């Protein structure tokens, strides 16, 4: 049977996509040093655990889905996912490997559980997906893992509630753990933490709220699932709603978990960056 080994979280920011290929030069750069210092523990954990499959909760930013067609929950079912992120002079990278067989198992399971998802046999991915994969599997190490992207809308209101995303994560967790193949599965939640990119509160960051979220994500995720989207906008900024991706990830981790690593850094670009490793007890 498939087994969930744990969860990883990170913020995703286009500027990181441009920094990743220059990491060797930037590890001692005053601006980037503390950011890159957060990743070696997560990379070592990934190296040790060697997951076969990564399920990635993230949000598309208007690349594959735009305002004309905006699925609330979109599940990838492609054999590969090509990076088509915008600008920043990022180099071309090889596509990410899919797992259509698992994707269809997951899609059938979610629809049976009354989640009306959009299945995507073609899906371009942006920094919400590619930056975390490159950070946790550096130097194209992501070639060794299959992936299933799950995009949850945070771009156009109405955005699904934290409670609904937590429940989606729980349903994804059940699907993984009933999959008859012998796979080690890691679940990623990417986005956040607090940030607002435009409007009167552009540049808004709320450290106190972010640290509370990182604490409760481990100890009491249900209390976070009781927040409304308006609570998240108020406390974490208009784009801070991306935290629902972290909650979906946490929903997939039932049973006992331990936080092996947490780090928090302000800012990269306009954003607070949080990284966590949540290991699930065997
Ligand atoms: C930025 C963009 C993002 O998608 C995000 O989640 C955080 C920050 C940015 O450009 O600053
Ligand atoms: Fe984002």
232-251: pLDDT as tens digits = 999 999 999 999 999 999 99
> Does the pLDDT at position 182 exceed 80?
yes
Q: What is the spatial distance between Cα 132 and Cα 60, in angstroms, rounded to a whole number?
A: 13
Per-residue confidence (pLDDT) for residue 143, from 0 to 100: 97
Peptide bond into 193 cis (omega under 30): yes
Per-residue confidence (pLDDT) for residue 258, from 0 to 100: 96
The mean pLDDT value for 88-96 works out to 90
Compute the distance from residue 197 Cα to the ligand 1 centre, in Å: 7
Ligand 1: residues whose CB is within 6 Å? Answer: 12-14, 61, 191, 195, 197, 239, 242, 269-271
Q: Determine the Cα angle at 161 with ends 71 and 229, to 5°.
A: 110
Per-residue confidence (pLDDT) for residue 164, from 0 to 100: 98
Instruction: Report, as residue numbers or ranges, the catalytic residues.
Output: 127, 195
> Does the pLDDT at position 87 exceed 80?
no
Q: Which atom of ligand 1 is nearest to the CA of 15?
A: 10
* Comparison of pLDDT for 10 and 86, the residue scoring more: 10
> Does the pLDDT at position 270 exceed 90?
no
The mean pLDDT value for 169-173 works out to 98
Q: Which ligand is nearest to the CA of 268?
A: 1
The mean pLDDT value for 255-282 works out to 94
Per-residue confidence (pLDDT) for residue 51, from 0 to 100: 98
Q: Which ligand is nearest to the CA of 17?
A: 1
> Does the pLDDT at position 274 exceed 80?
yes
Compute the distance from residue 13 Cα to the ligand 2 centre, in Å: 6
Q: Of the residues 129, 204, 232, 239, which should be mutated to test ligand 1's pocket, given the most ligand atoms within 8 Å of the CB?
A: 239
Compute the distance from residue 242 Cα to the ligand 2 centre, in Å: 7
The mean pLDDT value for 15-21 works out to 93
The mean pLDDT value for 144-169 works out to 98
Helices (H) and strands (E) in the chain, counts: 11, 11
Residue nearest to atom 7 of ligand 1 (CA): 13
Residue nearest to atom 3 of ligand 1 (CA): 13
Per-residue confidence (pLDDT) for residue 85, from 0 to 100: 86
Q: What is the spatial distance between Cα 276 and Cα 282, in angstroms, rounded to a whole number?
A: 19
Compute the distance from residue 174 Cα to the ligand 1 centre, in Å: 31
The pTM of the full predicted model, rounded to 2 decimals, is: 0.98
The mean pLDDT value for 131-155 works out to 97
Q: How confident is the model at residue 2 (pLDDT cuts 50, 70, 90)?
A: very high
């Amino acid at each position: 049977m498939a087994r969930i080994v744990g969860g990883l979280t990170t913020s995703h920011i286009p500027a990181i996509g441009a920094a990743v290929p220059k990491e060797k030069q930037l590890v001692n750069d005053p601006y980037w040093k503390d950011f890159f210092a957060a990743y070696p523990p997560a990379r070592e954990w990934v190296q040790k655990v060697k997951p076969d499959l990564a399920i990635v909760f993230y949000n598309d930013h208007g690349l594959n889905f735009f305002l004309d067609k905006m699925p609330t929950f979109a599940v990838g079912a492609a054999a590969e996912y090509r990076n088509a992120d915008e600008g920043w002079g990022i180099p071309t990278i090889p596509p990410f490997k899919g797992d259509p067989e698992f994707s269809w198992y997951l899609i059938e399971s979610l629809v049976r559980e009354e989640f009306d998802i959009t299945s995507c046999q073609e899906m371009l991915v942006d920094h919400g997906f590619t930056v975390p994969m490159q950070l946790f599997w550096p130097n194209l190490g992501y070639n060794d893992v299959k992936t299933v992207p799950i995009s949850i809308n945070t771009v156009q209101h109405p955005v699904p509630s934290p409670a609904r995303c937590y429940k989606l994560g729980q349903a994804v967790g059940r699907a993984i753990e009933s999959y008859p193949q012998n796979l080690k599965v890691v679940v990623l939640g990417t986005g956040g933490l607090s940030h607002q990119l435009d409007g009167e509160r552009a540049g808004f960051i709320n450290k106190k709220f972010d640290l509370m979220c990182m604490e409760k994500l481990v100890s009491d995720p249900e209390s976070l699932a009781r927040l409304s989207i308006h609570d998240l906008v108020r406390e974490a900024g208009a784009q801070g709603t991306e935290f629902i991706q972290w909650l979906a990830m946490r929903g997939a981790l039932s049973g006992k978990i331990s936080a092996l690593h947490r780090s928090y850094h302000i800012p990269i670009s306009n954003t607070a960056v949080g990284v966590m490793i949540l290991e699930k007890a065997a």
